[in-house]
Structure 1
Amino acid sequence: MASNQIRLRSFISLSIFLGLAVLLITSLLMFLKPHQELIALLHTIFGFWLLLLLLWHIKNNFKPLKSYLRNTGAGKINIVPWCSAGVFVVLLVLVYYKATPFLQFYHWGQTWRAATANEVGEQQLYQVHRLEPAIAAGEVFTIEFRKGPFFMWPQYAIWLETIDGKFIQPLYVTGKLAHNNFANKVTRKNPQQVFTDNPLAADMNASEIFEYQWDDASKNERMRPESLPVFLHALGLKSADGRMVPETSTPVLDAYAGATIIENFQLTTKSLAALPEQFRIRFEINQSFDFNAYYSSDRFPDDEVYSGDGYSAQPSVIYEAVVDRNDKQPIYLLKLIGQGHHSGRDGAINPDTSNLTTALQVVDRIIVEFQVR
């Protein structure tokens, strides 16, 4: 009996040691290297395995562990548990309030991951573009965009805002949206047909579902306020009928507009003027026809925009990074912050993206680098 207990304790102790070793190695790899599915899977599985072993260990050693919390003798106070709890609370508070040493350590790892991103896994090819408007005299930005598995032909925009949400300028806008140039007219052959996934990506014959017509004469009539509602409301340009779309272009939009780049790209551009100490970089993207079970084609039958000929489907998704010059950090990873309104009714960002599916996989990664003053 005693021999079996020794073997069991040896098994648990050795397993805990090996589990901690795996967690340590995978933690370092995830901190220093871009995300890899295998590393994340190892970290998760061994983390749960270690948790089960620790619970088993606590159960078998409950009495000794309990004695650690007791006083060491008459009139004496056992300060060990208090010291342990104190260190834990102090570390938790410092991390929660982003104390400078911890934040610098995190930024160092973020910069390292971004710098080595292209060296991991399958080689990624990028198209390199330069956009240097004659009216721009500010700071240089390099935007690296890597598309996700469901990227097809979206509309997107990247722009700058102040911390309190005031629009500064665009950095890049797809030309169709900037010039309101939607000449391709798509009509559903069967108006009663309901889509619960992307009919152009699924195993369907699109020519049997839609009729296509290139109509230059009416291209400006097909406005798409639902395409990038957050950007369009921030831009603040209205059409004659009051919709938030740039019915006619402007010098700034012309300067920062370009064709929809359908491959991974690295775009270098420049701001119009010097920027404040703190500002936001935002990226919004949307893809027509990208329906799912929730955002089906009949989800909002009384909404003329959603149910119209733009095939709005899942709403736009927005990514953001907050730049603080005091950090002296040149590289920023844009993070998902929410979705736009499904028919472009307002420019609010809804943080609840639980009903989105493939829309969350249009983008794989967006990194922005700018020259630090």
Structure 2
Amino acid sequence: MSETSTSAQTDNPQADNPQTDNPEHGEGGKYTVPGKEFTRDTRYIPTRITADGRDGFPVEPGRYRLVAARACPWANRAIIVRRLLGLEDAISLGLPGPTHDARSWTFDLDPGGRDPVLGIERLQEAYFRRDPNYSRGITVPAIVDTTTGAVATNDFAQITLDLSTEWRAHHRDGAPDLLPEQHRDEIDAVNQRVFTEVNNGVYRCGFAGSQQAYDQAYERLWTALDWLEDRLRDRRYLVGDTITEADVRLFTTLVRFDAVYHGHFKCNRSKLAEMPALWAYARDLFQTPGFGDTVDFQQIKRHYYVVHRDINPTAIVPAGPDLSGWLSVHGRADLGGRPFGDGAPPGPVRDHERVNPAGAVG
């Protein structure tokens, strides 16, 4: 990522992720600094998993495990792309629970509280196997090399790009091209603005340490959302006439907007459901195989309202909002476009990867 900064607290590279140097914060941590704006440290483990193995991690089906909490928008991207491309047999999926303490994401959803493949209780263990002195944030998504139990990479932005390019030989028949070469420059430009102003913009609002920082973040966020509302009035997808990486990246913020960002992060000029083009666009994607079937609203709400104790000290998780509208008619097909281009939608979700009915809509 091009934005390099220092996080609101210490060296926590993602606000959704725990850090290792503040155990006194218990479940969750401190995400705001009084008087300061929130900035995000985007330095990650730079190694990549590539077809030629130039960084020491060659593409090899069955070797790697994607650890990705459903609650986290950055991890949700990787889950969606893995499913759209049909990489379930090539890369296994580990799912930490929605909350964490100051040390690490934990595998509390698995029997015995251990990941069934890695055999660990905390994702932190895989980071320490990579570097016993690792002191940065224990972030998701992370791809773990099962031959060593160590993290291969946690660069969330690069992970999805590499799934599309470096893992191409293992894509399913009919997999979409999420990075069409003829649109790559436009995809990169849209992704950059969406990241700085929307994906990260909601965090700038939520973790602002002063009224001035919040006001500035709020203005930037809504300027970008108004731009997206205008852009999507007469086009079905962000770039071109098929689903691309750009749609995946925007979707994971939009699907969390009314459930958490509108209230919890004070992004409350409008609800998503009050923005006609964006709301219809988000519903279109949600109802497309590979998107909504990866979303667990229960885990999303529990993560934000329980972990961010300095914003929500009581850790009370709200009962609302009503999420049934995600399944309502959106009418976006009238704009044309072909979701999967010359390909086809992914098949049914694997039984062991289905979202718990309590966290789904419908």
Q: Which TM-score tier does this pair reach, normalised by the shorter chain?
A: under 0.3
Whichever structure has more strand as a proportion of its residues is 1
Larger radius of gyration: 1
Whichever structure has more helix as a proportion of its residues is 2
Q: Return the TM-score normalized by structure 1.
A: 0.23
Q: Return the TM-score normalized by structure 2.
A: 0.23
